[in-house]
Amino acid sequence: MAARFIRSGAHLPVKNLKVTLGYYRNKLGFTDEWTFGNKDGGISRNELRLLFAEDESFTNDINNEHHRLPLLWFVESIDEVYAEFKTGILQ
């Protein structure tokens, strides 16, 4: 079989893995949470999968008054997603 690239995913640095996973699970409706040790984990919703690494100092380095690390999500039915976040899960 020929080599094939499938997708790329960032291992996103976060200040607190447990708090981050809780927010995505409880406020944004993500599921299929997993952890590897105390510092690495991930979560998903539909086809969107996110990987996190707890590293507070690196998070502070890349998100500050001088620069930031943007994260883009591509979704279908954005109006429905917005309505869900506005009136449902986020409350």
Write down the domain spans for the chain. 11-87
For domain 11-87, the CATH superfamily is 2,3-Dihydroxybiphenyl 1,2-Dioxygenase, domain 1 (3.10.180.10)
pLDDT digits (tens, 9 = 90+) for 36-67: 999 999 999 999 999 999 998 888 888 888 88
Answer yes or no: is pLDDT of 89 > 80.
no
- pLDDT of amino acid 64: 84
Answer yes or no: is pLDDT of 91 > 60.
no
Side by side, the strands of the sheet bearing 48-54 are: 11-14, 48-54, 40-45, 31-36
Take residue 37 and report the two structure tokens written for it. 């040790």
Q: Which of 26-40, 51-65, 66-80 has the highest mean pLDDT?
A: 26-40
